């Protein structure tokens, strides 16, 4: 390897990285503190980037609606006002959703949990009576059921201690947040301002980022980085849009259906089903399982009706409503979605389940595109080889007669 200026820079960077890694492995406490400090410094910008991504998901359909509403009257004045007005509407929509969750849904959940704990002994007694009647009926037909072994007092104590423990932890966390409320407000204000600036100037910033990539990398690598960034952004946007739409549709239909059939805990179970539906494939069934257990304590028959209702609702929503409203957003086979959810859940919990699917989709599309290009290149090479082999051989130049050559 030639020790030119470019290679010397690479060697210096490798040596610096090696020394930094060696120091971090030998001083993990100081390295962790340094990373925590760096993270706290850049936290407002990270939050701003995440907030800008969520707002952009709302902003794009709002801008499409703006252009559709103005139609042919979309003149220079309307185009100048499009971004500020649509950005304001998108921000108000997001703030309204957060406000509704914290000031409407959360108090309703709290009241439902308190009501559930207070009525738990009578509900368990009712369930035990129903179970014993069913066991007696089946025993007459030579079918033995296990004995009902739930202790209402013990279960109530366990639930109360669980809520007290995590309620105390939540209270301590809230007190800790309140003690640093100034820092929290500053970070949120900076994050919101940064996200609004990113969205207001997103076309300009995107063009500047492309220029920086072209300046730092060769044309081949710059083109590849740009394509990967565009595909990753599209994949994550499609995933967020699809899952949020499915969650809203499924939660709303579940709430309306439970009101029509007069099933208990309609608001709580619908919110739970909608929230767990953010996890692809089997997420909504987690909420259904918890909801069925809550209804089971009220009425086993209603619990069976609820399960039957949700199975029909899931088929209707998955096969008719969701494909028409959302469409195929990811294009990832179900096997890979299941594998991504499993691995992501084992590594990072619920957050890993949510992030693993779009990340796996991006990797899957990159690999598929690479394989397609290689197959196309090999096919073109084979076609060229076949064409060369099938071409007529070039006519050889006529040889001089042996006699004439000998005569010379």
Residue with tokens 């669980």: 162
- Asked if the model's pLDDT at residue 73 lies above 80, the reply is no
Asked if 66 and 82 count as a contact pair (C-beta separation under 8 A), the reply is yes
pLDDT at res. 385:
67
Q: Which of 22-36, 173-187, 253-267, 307-321 has the largest mean confidence?
A: 253-267
Asked if 229 and 217 count as a contact pair (C-beta separation under 8 A), the reply is no
Average pLDDT of the segment spanning 84-98? 86
Average pLDDT of the segment spanning 369-373? 83
- Asked if the model's pLDDT at residue 185 lies above 80, the reply is no
Q: How confident is the model at residue 370 (pLDDT cuts 50, 70, 90)?
A: confident
pLDDT at res. 366:
82
Averaged pLDDT of the chain: 75
Q: Where are the alpha helices (DSSP H) in 101-142?
A: 106-118, 120-139
Q: Which of 94-103, 253-262, 364-373, 394-403 has the largest mean confidence?
A: 253-262
Check residues 309 and 408 and name the one with the higher pLDDT.
309
* Percentage with pLDDT > 90 across the chain: 0
Min mean pLDDT across 1-5, 129-133, 169-173 is at 169-173
pLDDT at res. 90:
87
Min mean pLDDT across 120-134, 157-171, 225-239, 313-327 is at 157-171
- Ramachandran class of 77: left when φ > 0, alpha when ψ lies in -120 to 50, beta otherwise: alpha
pLDDT at res. 153:
60
Q: How confident is the model at residue 357 (pLDDT cuts 50, 70, 90)?
A: confident
Min mean pLDDT across 13-17, 109-113, 227-231 is at 109-113
Residues 109 and 115: their CA atoms lie apart, in Å, by 10
Average pLDDT of the segment spanning 75-94? 84
Sequential DSSP letters for 20-47: HHHHHHH-HHHHHHHHHHHHHHHHHHHH
Neighbours of 304 (CB within 10 A): 13
Q: How confident is the model at residue 391 (pLDDT cuts 50, 70, 90)?
A: very low
- Ramachandran class of 281: left when φ > 0, alpha when ψ lies in -120 to 50, beta otherwise: left
Q: How confident is the model at residue 109 (pLDDT cuts 50, 70, 90)?
A: low
Check residues 317 and 277 and name the one with the higher pLDDT.
277
Average pLDDT of the segment spanning 209-228? 86
Question: Which pair of tokens denotes residue 331?
Answer: 């294009």
pLDDT at res. 174:
46
pLDDT at res. 402:
45
* Percentage with pLDDT > 70 across the chain: 74
Q: Give residue-wise pLDDT tens across range 372-390.
A: 888 887 776 776 766 665 5
Question: Which pair of tokens denotes residue 45?
Answer: 């910008």
Q: Give residue-wise pLDDT tens across range 125-134.
A: 777 777 777 7
Asked if 269 and 254 count as a contact pair (C-beta separation under 8 A), the reply is yes
pLDDT at res. 175:
45
Instruction: Report the predicted TM-score, pTM, of the whole model to 2 decimal places.
Output: 0.64
């Amino acid at each position: 390897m030639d020790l030119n200026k470019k290679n010397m820079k690479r060697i210096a960077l490798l040596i610096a990285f090696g020394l930094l890694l060696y120091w971090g492995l030998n001083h993990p406490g100081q390295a962790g503190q340094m990373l925590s400090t760096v993270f706290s410094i850049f936290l407002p910008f990270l939050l701003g980037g995440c907030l800008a991504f969520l707002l952009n998901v709302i902003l794009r359909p709002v801008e499409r609606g703006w252009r559709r509403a103005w139609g042919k009257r979309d003149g220079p004045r309307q185009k100048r006002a499009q971004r500020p007005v649509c950005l304001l509407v998108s921000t108000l929509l997001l703030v309204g959703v957060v406000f509704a969750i914290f000031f409407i849904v959360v108090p309703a959940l709290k009241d439902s949990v308190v009501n559930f704990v207070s009525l738990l002994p009578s509900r368990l007694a009712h369930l035990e009576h129903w179970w014993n009647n069913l066991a007696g009926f089946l025993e007459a037909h030579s079918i033995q059921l296990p004995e009902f072994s739930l202790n209402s007092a013990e279960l109530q104590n366990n639930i109360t201690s669980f809520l007290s423990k995590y309620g105390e932890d939540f209270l301590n966390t809230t007190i800790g947040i309140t003690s640093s409320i100034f820092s929290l407000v500053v970070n949120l204000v900076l994050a919101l301002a940064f996200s609004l600036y990113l969205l207001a100037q997103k076309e300009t910033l995107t063009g500047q980022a492309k220029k920086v990539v072209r300046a730092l990398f060769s044309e081949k690598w710059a083109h590849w980085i740009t394509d990967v960034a565009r595909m990753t952004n599209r994949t994550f946007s499609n995933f967020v849009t699809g899952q949020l739409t499915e969650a809203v549709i499924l939660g709303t239909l579940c709430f309306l259906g439970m009101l029509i059939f007069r099933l208990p805990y309609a608001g709580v179970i619908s919110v739970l089903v909608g929230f767990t539906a953010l996890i692809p494939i089997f997420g909504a069934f987690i909420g259904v399982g918890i909801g069925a257990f809550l209804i089971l304590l009220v009425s086993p028959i209603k619990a069976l009706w609820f399960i039957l209702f949700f199975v029909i609702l899931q088929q209707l929503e998955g096969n008719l409503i969701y494909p028409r409203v959302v469409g195929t957003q990811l294009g990832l086979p179900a096997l890979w979605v299941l594998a991504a959810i499993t691995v992501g859940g084992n590594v990072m919990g619920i957050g890993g389940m949510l992030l693993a699917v779009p990340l796996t989709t991006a990797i899957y599309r990159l690999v598929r595109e690479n394989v397609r290009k290689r197959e196309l290149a090999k096919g073109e090479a084979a076609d060229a080889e076949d064409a060369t082999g099938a071409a007529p051989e070039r006519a050889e130049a006529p040889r001089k007669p042996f006699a004439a050559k000998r005569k010379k």
